[in-house]
């Protein structure tokens, strides 16, 4: 608008000559003042996403896009109720808007309502069969349900539509890894890294695949790359620590576990793994302490109870061992019959 103002004054000057210079300067100053006030007022509207989209909706209440975008803002804010209200309104305005169904499906998936999420993804794909992101997220929903073949099919469709979507290769790699198809998983991780060499999560998961194959040196190399990209990647430190344990290097393992806990003190798996490391060293009291920390964070962590009951047994704390056995059974788990027989024999009690 500043350029327009100068253009306007210059044009008037050209048409009417220098005699109008002072009036033109006055007009220019008035225009600048007016637009300065409008710009200042507009800043309040652009203060955040909500003030912006509220203003757009007030002025254009029958447009889909502002409801979609405000719904996404509510999702970021952690307010799914308001988000659903906006996505529903967008769909009411235009029942053939694939993006609105996609966004609502994502919101349902975050809530764990996978059936409703799939219903919305299905509708979005009916409207737009070439919506790669919807195929990807529908694949995520199927993978969460444990339907890995269907998930892989969805990821493959997404890749056919857009072969440069790094996240889809990563997700398909996860599905293959869940199936135990480690070679195919590694192949997808390789492709993801070719597209984006700075994708820390892919290096971490490729490390997991190598570790599952028993290739510990390569696994450690992958975790190290992930950490170089993201020095605060707690999960990568945890996984590298576990690989070091398998390599027989407890010093490096404890260093990684400690670093992971510094970054994320609520990462239960690290305490569990550090407990395993202490248990392998014969440091039973410290192992119990680590398993207990994991249980304090997640009171339903059956595997931590399972390991702690064994350590209590080894430490001759039989009553505590029985307490953990009962907790495991309440959680729906099963204790190995041979261990139960040994515990009954050592404790002199049946339950």
pLDDT digits (tens, 9 = 90+) for 100-135: 999 999 999 999 999 999 999 999 999 999 999 999
According to the model, what pLDDT value does residue 61 have?
A: 83
Category of 316 on φ-ψ map: left (φ > 0), alpha (ψ -120 to 50) or beta? left
Asked if the model's pLDDT at residue 29 lies above 80, the reply is no
How many Å apart are CA 320 and CA 128, to the nearest integer? 59
pLDDT digits (tens, 9 = 90+) for 36-68: 666 655 565 555 676 777 788 888 888 999 999
According to the model, what pLDDT value does residue 350 have?
A: 86
Max mean pLDDT range (12-26, 28-42, 90-104): 90-104
Structure tokens at 249: 């290097």
Q: Closest by alpha carbon to 157, among 182, 183, 132, 125?
A: 132
CA angle 194, 195, 198 (to 5 degrees): 85
Count Cβ atoms below 10 Å from residue 36 Cβ, excluding itself: 12
Category of 96 on φ-ψ map: left (φ > 0), alpha (ψ -120 to 50) or beta? alpha
Give, for 300, the enclosing helix (H) or strand (E): none
What does the CA dihedral 37, 43, 44, 45 come to, rounded to 10 degrees?
110
Please give the C-alpha separations between residue 239 and each of 173, 283, 286, 335, 337, in angstroms, as whole numbers: 18, 21, 20, 27, 31
- Give this prediction's pTM: 0.82
The better pLDDT of the pair 19, 315 is held by 315
CB-based burial label for 135 (10 Å; 0-12, 13-18, 19+):
buried
How many Å apart are CA 206 and CA 14, to the nearest integer? 69
pLDDT digits (tens, 9 = 90+) for 180-208: 999 999 999 999 999 999 999 999 999 99
Q: What is the DSSP string of 319-347?
A: HHHHHHHHHHHHTT----HHHHHHHHHHH
């Amino acid at each position: 608008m500043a350029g327009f103002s100068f253009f306007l004054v210059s044009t008037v000057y050209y048409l009417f000559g220098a005699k109008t210079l002072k009036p033109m300067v006055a007009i220019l100053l008035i225009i600048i003042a007016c637009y300065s006030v409008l710009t200042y007022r507009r800043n309040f509207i652009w203060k955040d996403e909500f003030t912006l989209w509220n203003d757009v909706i007030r002025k254009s209440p029958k447009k889909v896009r502002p409801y979609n975008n405000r719904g996404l803002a509510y999702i970021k804010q952690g307010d799914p109720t308001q988000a659903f209200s906006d996505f529903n309104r967008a769909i009411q305005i235009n029942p053939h808007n694939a993006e609105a169904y996609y966004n609502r499906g994502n919101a349902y998936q975050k809530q764990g309502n996978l059936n409703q999420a799939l219903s919305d993804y299905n509708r979005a794909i009916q409207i737009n069969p070439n919506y790669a992101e919807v195929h990807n997220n529908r694949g995520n929903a199927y993978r969460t349900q444990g339907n890995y073949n269907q998930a892989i099919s969805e990821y493959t469709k997404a890749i056919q539509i857009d072969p440069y979507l790094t996240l889809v290769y990563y997700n398909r790699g996860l599905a293959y890894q869940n199936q135990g198809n480690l070679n195919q998983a590694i192949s997808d991780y390789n492709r993801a890294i070719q597209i984006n060499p700075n994708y820390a999560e892919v290096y971490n998961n490729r490390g997991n695949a190598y570790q599952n194959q028993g290739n510990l040196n390569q696994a450690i190399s992958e975790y190290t790359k992930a950490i170089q990209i993201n020095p605060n990647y707690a999960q990568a430190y945890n996984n590298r620590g576990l690989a070091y344990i398998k390599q027989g290097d407890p010093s490096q393992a404890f260093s990684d576990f400690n670093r992971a806990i510094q970054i994320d003190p609520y990462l239960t798996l690290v305490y569990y793994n550090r407990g395993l490391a202490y248990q392998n060293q014969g440091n039973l009291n410290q192992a119990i302490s680590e398993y207990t920390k994991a249980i304090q964070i997640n009171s339903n962590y059956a595997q931590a109870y399972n390991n702690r009951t064994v350590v209590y047994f080894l430490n001759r704390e039989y009553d505590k061992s029985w307490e953990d056995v009962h907790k495991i059974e309440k959680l729906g788990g099963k204790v190995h019959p041979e261990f139960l027989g040994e515990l009954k024999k050592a404790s002199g009690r049946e339950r």
